[in-house]
Amino acid sequence: MIISRRLVVAFASLLCLAALLPAVGARADNPIVRHIYTADPAPLVFNGRVYLYTGHDEDGSTFFTMREWRVWSSADMVNWTDHGSPMNLATFSWASSDAWAGQAIFRNGKFYWYVPVRMANGSNAIGVGVADSPTGPFRDALGRPLIQNAEIDPTVYIDDDGQAYLYYGNPRLWFVRLNSDMISFSGSPTQIPLTTAGFGTRTGDANRPTLYEEGPWFYRRNGLYYMVFAAKCCSEFIAYSTSSSPTGPWTYRGTIMPTQGASFTNHAGLIDFNGGSYFFYHNGALPGGGGFTRSVAVEKFTYNGDGTIPTINMSTGGAPQIGTLNPYVRQEAETLAQSNGIETEPASEGGMNIGWIDNGDWTKTKGVAFGTGAASFTARVASAGSGGNIEVRLDSATGTVVGTCTAPGTGGWQTWTTITCPVNNTTGTHDLYLRFTGGINLNWWQFTPTGGGGGGNILTNGNTESGTTGWSAFGGTLSSNTSVVHDGTRSLAITGRTASWNGPSQNVTANLTNGKSYTTSVWVRTQSGTPSAKATLAYTVNGTTNYLALTPAAAVNSGGWTQLSGTATVSWTGTLSSATFYVETTSGTDSFYIDDVSLQ
Ligand code: FUB
C-alpha cells in the first residue's frame, strides 16, 4: 500500500500525503507497478504472456522487510494484471522472515518457484514452491529447505538437453544440477570460482576481490550461457559474464545497467518475448521509494550481433506496448498501466479487485482500441458505503469525460453488482482513465460497441469465447482451444491445413456495407513455425470473386501472440453474392491459433 484511505486517516498532515502522491497525469510507464512497492523481478514467458514474480517491500521499511511474494502478468508489456500474493512466508512452515529474491520456471505441467528465506535459526536457506498455475496458489514442495548453506537469490534454467541448473549465492556463487522432478538435485552444491577474469575486479574489499555481489540470472541464448548479476554493493550495478558451458569457466563482459536511481540494490531478469528482448530491474523511483521501498521497471533492448548486451539505462518511459488492448472483452480492474491512490485485494468472485478508493483516485489502462467507438461502459462494482461515480476519461486523468457511471451502495465491499452507462466519442485508440469519486470497489469493466457485436465488429463471436460459434474452417480443421489464449479463456485453433489459404473463416455477406472503410484486428499465434499471416476478405460480385487484403502480412510465431491490423475499404458495383473473412498464411501450412478478432 503506497497511498490509501487508511493512510489518509492515519496521516495527520495532508502536506505529508501530498509529498507521497505521484503526479496526476504523469506519462511514464516505469515503474510498472505503482500501488505497492515491488523488488527482485523474475519474468517467465508462458503461453503468450509474461508472468512476473517479485518480492514486496513493505511500506516505510527500514530493512528488507519482506513477507510475501507477488505475481503479475502482461501480454503487452505495459498493462500489468495484479494476481496478488500466491506465496508468502507462511507457505514454508520452517521459514521465519526475509521473503527475498526468487525465480519461477515451468516443467512437467507445474510451476516451481525457488526462493530464499531466513530460518528461525537465523540462517538463510532456499525453498521451492510448486503450483499448477503460473499464478498459484503455491505450496511448499518439500516441507523443508531444498538447499541449506546460508545463501540467497536462486536462479533456475532448464538447458536444451533437459538438465536443469539452480545457481544462487551471496557472497559466493554456487550451482546444483536439479533432477527432472525439480525438487531434488544430484551431487553436492558446487562453488563457482569467483576469478577476476570471470567476474571483474573489485578494489578496496579484500573479502570480495570480484564484482560479483548477488542476484544471479542464468540463461542460455543462441548457444551462449549468460550470468547476469548485481555487482559491487553499494550501490549496485548490473553486470554480466558469459560462458560456452553451463558451469563455466565464465568470462566477465562488463556493465549492463550502471548504478542509477534511489535504491542501493538492483536485481535483473531478462527474457525474450514476442520477438523482443526485455530487461527487468528495480529502483526506488516511486514516491517514498528508496533502498528498502523499491519498484520494478522494464526496458526493451536489442542484443548486439555477437550476443553481447548493450548498456541499458533506467527510464521512466518503459517498454513500448505490444499491440492494443481490447475493451470489448472483460478486462480486470487490476490490469493497470498506472494508478493513483488505489489498492488491490482478493475479490470474492475470484481474482483481484481494486479498492480503498478515495475521491480523485484513478487507474490508467494504456492503448485501448475502441475502433469505431463504444456505446456503453459496464462495470462490476461493490460499495459498503453509499457508492460513488466512475468517470470514464480518455488520455489523461483530467482528460475528456466520455461517460459517467453511478455505482450504488451494495451493502458490502464484496457484494457485487453490475452497472452500465452510455459513453460517446471513443473512436480510435486511447489511454483509458477511470477516475473515481466516493467509495467504490471495482472488479472488472467492459465496453459495448456501437451497433452491437464488437465495436461495430461485424464478426460473430469475435472474441472466440463462445467456442467455434459463427466460425468455419476454410480448409483444415477448426476447434475451440482453452490452453493457449490471448484474452479470456478460449481461442480458435486451425490444424490440418493443406494450403496457405486454409484458415478460420466467417461468412460476413449479410453485414458488409458497400463503400465502408473497415478496420481489422486479429491476434495470431502459430503452434510451431514462423509463417507470415494476414486477414483477407473474399467477396463475390456478379459471379467474380475478389480478394481484399484486410491487413498486411506479418511474421507470426509460437512464442507469443502477434496482432495483425489494418484498414481497407470494401466497395463493389453489382450484386454481392458472398463475402468471407478469413485468416491465412502467405505460404506454408502451419497450424495456428487466432483470438480477439474484429472487423469493424
Ligand atoms: O530483496 C532482498 C534482497 O535485495 C535480494 O535477495 C537481493 O538480490 C537484493 O535485491
pLDDT per position as a tens digit, 486-497:
877 889 999 999
Other CB atoms within 10 A of residue 12 CB? 8
Residues 590 and 527: beta-carbon distance below 8 Å: yes
Single-letter amino acid, residue 298: V
What average pLDDT does the segment 325-336 reach? 95
Phi, psi torsion values for 16, nearest 5 degrees: -60, -45
Separation of CA 100 and ligand 1 centre (Å): 6
Separation of CA 540 and ligand 1 centre (Å): 63
Residues 538 and 582: beta-carbon distance below 8 Å: yes
What average pLDDT does the segment 167-195 reach? 97
What average pLDDT does the segment 113-124 reach? 97
- Compare 373 and 577 and report the one with higher pLDDT: 373
Atom 3 of ligand 1 has which residue's CA nearest to it? 100
The three-state DSSP-derived secondary structure of 210-266 is ECEEEEEEEEEECCEEEEEEEECCCCCEEEEEEECCCCCCCEEEEEEECCCCCCCCC
- The best mutation among 152, 229, 295 to test binding of ligand 1, ranked by most ligand atoms within 8 Å of the C-beta, falls on 152
In the prediction, which pLDDT does 22 show? 36
465 belongs to the catalytic site? no
Residues 353 and 441: beta-carbon distance below 8 Å: yes
Residues 491 and 593: beta-carbon distance below 8 Å: yes
pLDDT surpasses 90 at 519: no
Atom 9 of ligand 1 has which residue's CA nearest to it? 265
Catalytic residue among 29, 40, 98, 596: 40
Atom 8 of ligand 1 has which residue's CA nearest to it? 215
What letter does residue 525 receive in the DSSP assignment?
E
For the stretch 267-286, pLDDT in tens is 999 999 999 999 999 999 99
For the stretch 379-397, pLDDT in tens is 999 999 999 999 999 999 9
Q: Nearest-CA neighbor of 448 among 355, 348, 372, 537?
A: 372
Q: Which residues line ligand 1 (CB under 6 A)?
A: 39-40, 55, 64, 100-101, 152-153, 214-215, 230, 265, 267
Cα-Cα-Cα-Cα torsion 433, 434, 438, 444, nearest 10 degrees, comes to -150
User: CA 394: distance to chain centroid?
Assistant: 23
Q: Which atom of ligand 1 is nearest to the CA of 153?
A: 6
Residues 278 and 270: beta-carbon distance below 8 Å: yes
In the prediction, which pLDDT does 493 show? 96
pLDDT surpasses 90 at 5: no
Query: pTM, whole model, 2 decimals?
Result: 0.79
- Compare 403 and 23 and report the one with higher pLDDT: 403
Single-letter amino acid, residue 227: M
Reduce the DSSP state of residue 530 to 3 states and report it: coil
Q: Pick left, alpha or beta for residue 406 (phi over 0 → left; psi -120 to 50 → alpha; otherwise beta).
A: beta
Separation of CA 437 and ligand 1 centre (Å): 38
Atom 2 of ligand 1 has which residue's CA nearest to it? 100
The set of cell numbers assigned to 128 is 521451492
pLDDT band at 37 (very low <50, low <70, confident <90, very high): very high
Q: Pick left, alpha or beta for residue 453 (phi over 0 → left; psi -120 to 50 → alpha; otherwise beta).
A: left
361 belongs to the catalytic site? no
**Cα dist. 223→220, 226, 350, 446, 479 in Å?**
6, 10, 42, 45, 37
What sign has the CA pseudo-torsion 327, 331, 335, 339?
positive
Separation of CA 40 and ligand 1 centre (Å): 6
pLDDT surpasses 80 at 28: no
pLDDT band at 566 (very low <50, low <70, confident <90, very high): confident
Q: Please, what are the domains in the chain? A: 27-301 (2.115.10.20), 331-449 (2.60.120.260), 472-599 (2.60.120.260)
Residues 288 and 20: beta-carbon distance below 8 Å: yes
Residues 426 and 402: beta-carbon distance below 8 Å: yes
Atom 4 of ligand 1 has which residue's CA nearest to it? 265
In the prediction, which pLDDT does 216 show? 98
pLDDT band at 565 (very low <50, low <70, confident <90, very high): confident
- The best mutation among 61, 214, 218 to test binding of ligand 1, ranked by most ligand atoms within 8 Å of the C-beta, falls on 214
In the prediction, which pLDDT does 429 show? 95
d(CA 272, CA 300): 10
Catalytic residue among 98, 151, 213, 595: 213
Burial class of residue 19 (count of CB atoms within 10 Å of its CB; 0-12, 13-18, 19+): exposed
Computed over every residue of the chain, the mean pLDDT equals: 92
Q: Which atom of ligand 1 is nearest to the CA of 101?
A: 6
Separation of CA 394 and ligand 1 centre (Å): 38
In the prediction, which pLDDT does 456 show? 64
Burial class of residue 158 (count of CB atoms within 10 Å of its CB; 0-12, 13-18, 19+): middle
The set of cell numbers assigned to 477 is 480443421
d(CA 112, CA 167): 15
pLDDT band at 577 (very low <50, low <70, confident <90, very high): confident
The set of cell numbers assigned to 407 is 455505482
d(CA 146, CA 178): 10
Q: Nearest-CA neighbor of 73 among 46, 99, 104?
A: 46
